[in-house]
Amino acid sequence: MEQSRPLWDNPLQFVFACISYAVGLGNVWRFPYLCQMYGGGGFLVPYFIMLIVEGMPLLYLELAVGQRMRQGSIGAWRTISPYLSGVGIASVVVSFFLSMYYNVINAWAFWYLFHSFQDPLPWANCPMNRNYTGYMEECEKASSTQYFWYRETLNISPSIEEHGSIQWEQAVCLILAWLVVYLCILRGTESTGKVVYVTASLPYLVLLIYLIRGLTLHGAVNGLVYMFTPKLEQLANPKAWINAATQIFFSLGLGFGSLIAFASYNEPNNNCERHAMIVSLINSATSIFASIVTFSIYGFKATFNYEDCVSKVILLLTNTFDLEEGFLTADNLEAMKNYLTSTYPNEYTELLPQIKNCSLEAELDTAVQGTGLAFIVYSEAIKNMEVSQLYSVLYFFMLLLLGIGSMLGNTTAILTPLTDSKFISTHLPKEAISGIVCFVNCIVGLIFTMEAGNYWFDIFNDYAATLSLLLIVLVETISVCYVYGLRRFEKDLHVMTGHKPSWYWKIMWAFASPVLIVSLFVFYLTDYILTGTLKYQAWDATQGQLVTKDYPSYALAVIGLLVAASTMCIPLAALIIFIMKRLRRESISTVA
Amino acid sequence: FTGLKYLFRAMVAFAMRRYSSKETTQISNVLLCNVTDRVSFWFVVADSSKNVTTIPRKNVEAAIRMNRNRINSAFLLNDDTLQFLKISSTLSPPIEPSLPIWLIVFGSVLCLILGGIVFLIVSGIRQRQKKNQASAEAENLEDKHETIVTTENGIPCDTLDFKAGHINGVYAAADDERFTPL
């Protein structure tokens, strides 16, 4: 008796699973940065064009392939053509790399979440040094939030060569994060389907709370105005278009095999066209929503720091010249500075190096992305709000939900091909396979909890997935259009959704998207080649800031291995299948 | 402002009395000079027993240090807003709880998650045992009922039943390599 494939309980679970996977940390910490760098409101133009040209067609393609083939990535591509099983294998390898390092972010989110239950928040103040005479030197040079991130969370070493030991606190949080992921994927779609109701919808609730809180903060308007004023001249900058394309591409999570895996658990007549459009639109809308929240928080933080700076200057001047309290205010500061320069020229020139030029623009200009934004900038803003513990808990809980939602997709991409394979699923039950995958990932992930772990994290984050994904999706698109045949695919879609795909989809699949991906690929390669040696940012504890260093040779070797391990699967698998078929044909011919 | 000056002189006198445990210092012994608009001034404590001498700086400093908290509270200010130049404030030692709070939260979440995992695994095993029992019973009934899933060329029929019989999925799937070409 054939065992039927487990299915989603209803199409809503499938849509929620895709949303939960696609809406991840990148929407919160990468899109606002890009928006700021490439022209504010004007960046939305290339973003939406790329969404329509690249995002929706490729998403529809992957979902349709998964739903039609009803197998994980390896099986699906093997069904299209045995030579293409390498594409599936490459997807699984990339997903494996991603799940290794991505869960470390969840571990950090757990760490911050657990530390949010204190009053005052531990990153609000600098800790004292050993003999209680003053504050820690590193904390004085940097800020208390930076100190908490680099020293108390990561305990980062000065360079990637110095490994240090495994931080037990981080290791324990990582184990917890993997236990949570295991709990969610334990039963396959049965458990994942219930969990995604929570991971897809709760982040929006938290974002809404933050939106209301953010917009009512003092100075939020400054941030919003700064971000949304379109600088249309950036549209002429090719980097804006390239980054828009890259952001859409990676934000939707194409090429990892997760979307194929999710779609394979669908009913065969599910309307994946509509779902593809819904998911991509919701993903982009969430990015914009999150950037409104981020920029109101930026504005608040920048205004707070600016006013703090101004009041420090006022205090300094008042103390030096023994002026009356309230004589100097923020409004008359400039006029009074001139007055003081003229009346007490000598003392003023002595004081000049200590007087900082406070500028709101400069505060707003500090554009940050990635873990720096999430764990340093945001926590700095949160510590200045009232009831900061509540907002801190909400915020890190939201980060956790987003991160775990994406992890569910990644692990499903690894597990579905494994459970599809008859050999493995007959010998081991589902729970054991998931357990082994989580365990292996957890052990490897302990590397990222060492003192130099954050540098390795950056290596994986920057290089493990970028080039390989572009290649994988390119091969996917070309093979569906030209190897499987666009006409056959059209007929399959007609059977599944009830109507033929319009000419728009066909043109995008056959021409526009492959051309776009090839150009992105070329751009990335030339960028790598032109920059010469790769560099990274290391934290210098003595100066209290980041410095740029070169990667040592073994780190470069690891980078090369990462990229090669996934990309080489495609040609290697094709070669091996070719050789095996040749041998089989020869043995048949000798027998005959 | 004169009221506050009087309060300050009273506090300094009190501090000196507590420090030296002598009851000799009077408010009139504390003198303020160079009072500026900025509310800053110099002060000295005169020695009432010996005329025209001031109590050495070290003693005054020690006295103020000992009673700093009270002086601050009297003015409803703190170390940042009421500054004694050249008397550095000692920082209060941090409150170290016996068990770091984060471990407590971590422990509770960990127990919850482990409980959930164990529950799911155990219920999964029990479900499978029940299914094995049920299929063992079903095998005894197979002679009487046909419970075999009807298949067509190796594909279960229910997956081919698109659009309630209007479209025969077998022909749509006929392009698959599994079948002999028509």
Task: Report the half-sphere exposure of A405 (CA within 13 A, side-chain side).
Answer: 32
Cβ proximity of A310 and A358 under 8 Å: yes
Element (H, E) at A151: none
Q: Taking a C-beta distance cutoff of 8 angstroms, is the pair A16, A351 a contact?
A: no
Residue A237 annotated as part of some ligand binding site: no
In whole angstroms, how large is the CA radius of gyration of chain A? 27
Region A473-500 average pLDDT: 89
Predicted confidence band of residue B143 (pLDDT cuts 50, 70, 90): low
Task: Please report, as a single letter, which amino acid is at residue A458.
Answer: D
Are A2 and B149 a contacting pair at CB < 8 A? yes
Q: Residue B57 and residue A584: Cα distance in Å, rounded?
A: 101
Name the DSSP class of A533: S
Q: Across the strands, what pairs with A537?
A: A548
Partner-chain contact A183 B113, CB within 8 Å: yes
Which residues of chain B lie closer than 8 angstroms to A172, CB-CB?
Answer: 106
Q: Confidence class of residue B180 from pLDDT cuts 50, 70 and 90?
A: low
pLDDT above 60 (res A3): no
A38 has pLDDT over 80: yes
Report the alpha-carbon distance of residue A264 to residue A89 in Å, rounded: 17
Its sign, for the CA torsion A315, A321, A326, A329, is negative
- Looking at per-residue pLDDT, the higher value among A265 and B81 belongs to A265
Nearest CB among A173, A179, A498 relative to B114 is that of A179
Q: Is A392 annotated as a binding residue?
A: no
Q: Which range has the worst mean pLDDT, A126-130, A513-517, B46-50, B102-106?
A: B46-50
Alpha carbons B153 and A123: distance in angstroms, whole number: 65
pLDDT in tens, A318-371: 877 777 777 777 778 888 878 878 887 887 777 777 777 888 888 887 767 788
User: Angle at CA A269, nearest 5°, toward A265 and A275?
Assistant: 75
Confidence category of residue A114, pLDDT binned at 50, 70, 90: very high
Residue A47: name the closest of A307, A259, A235 by CA: A235
Count of CB atoms within 10 A of residue A70's CB?
A: 18
Residue A535 has pLDDT above 80, yes or no: yes
Mutation choice for A interface testing from B106, B149, B179 by most A CBs within 10 A:
B106
Contacts of A179 in chain B (CB under 8 A): 110, 113-114, 117
**Residue A219: what are its φ and ψ, rounded to 5°?**
90, 0
pLDDT score recorded for residue B42: 77
A2 falls in which pLDDT band (50, 70, 90)?
very low
Mean pLDDT of all residues in chain B? 74
Residue A370: both structure tokens together? 């990635």
Q: In terms of DSSP bridges, do strands B30-33 and B42-45 run parallel, antiparallel, or are they unpaired?
A: antiparallel
Would the pLDDT of B52 be above 70? no
Tokens representing A200?
């897809």
What pLDDT shows up at residue A350? 78
Question: B41 to chain A, minimum CA–CA distance in Å?
Answer: 10
| Residue-wise pLDDT tens digits, B31-46 | 787 777 677 777 777 7
Query: Tens digit of pLDDT for each residue in A297-308?
Result: 888 888 988 888
Can you say whether the dihedral through the CA atoms of B78, B80, B86, B91 is positive or negative? positive
Higher-scoring residue by pLDDT: A110, B64: A110
Find the range with the poorest average confidence among A18-27, B76-85, B101-110.
B76-85
The residues on B that touch A, with CB distances below 8 Å, are 36-40, 90-91, 93-94, 101-103, 105-106, 109-110, 113-114, 116-117, 120-121, 124, 128, 147-149, 151, 156, 158-159, 162-163, 167, 169, 172, 175-176
Q: What is the number of other CB atoms lying within 10 angstroms of the CB of residue A529?
A: 8
With cut-offs at 50, 70 and 90, classify the pLDDT of residue B116: very high
Mean local confidence (pLDDT), A390-396:
93
Tokens of A133: 């005479």
A205-209, B67-71, B150-154: which has the highest mean pLDDT?
Answer: A205-209
More confident residue, A563 or B26: A563
Q: What is the pLDDT of residue B178?
A: 54
Supply A269's token pair: 């007549």
Q: Which two tokens stand for residue A349?
A: 């020139």
CA distance B66 to chain A (A): 17
- ipTM for this prediction: 0.82
Look over chain A and give the mean of its residue pLDDT values, rounded to a whole number.
87
Residues of chain A contacting B106 with CB distance shorter than 8 Å: 110, 114, 172-173, 176
Tell me: pLDDT of B161 over 80: no
pLDDT bucket at B25, cuts 50 / 70 / 90: confident
Using 50, 70 and 90 to split pLDDT, how confident is the model at A1?
very low
pLDDT computed for residue A180 by the predictor:
94
Rounded Cα distance between A586 and A352, Å, is 88
Coil, strand or helix at A161: coil
A283 is in an annotated binding site: yes
User: In which band, very low, low, confident or very high, does the pLDDT at B107 lie, cut at 50, 70 and 90?
Assistant: very high
B181–chain A nearest CA distance, Å: 15
Ramachandran quadrant class, A40 (left: phi over 0; alpha: psi -120 to 50; beta: rest): left
* Residues 483-522 of chain A whose Cβ lies under 8 A from any Cβ of chain B: 488, 491-492, 495, 498
A420 or B176: which carries more pLDDT confidence? A420
In chain A, residues with a C-beta closer than 8 Å to the C-beta of B175 are 488, 491
Burial of A181 (0-12, 13-18, 19+ CB in 10 A): buried
DSSP for residue A552: P
Q: Which two tokens stand for residue A312?
A: 């420090």
Helix (H) or strand (E) holding A589: helix A569-591
Question: Rounded distance, CA A154 to CA A452, Å?
Answer: 8
pLDDT digit string, tens, across residues A180-194: 999 998 888 888 888
C-alpha gyration radius of chain B: 45
Nearest to A396 by CA among A116, A30, A21: A116
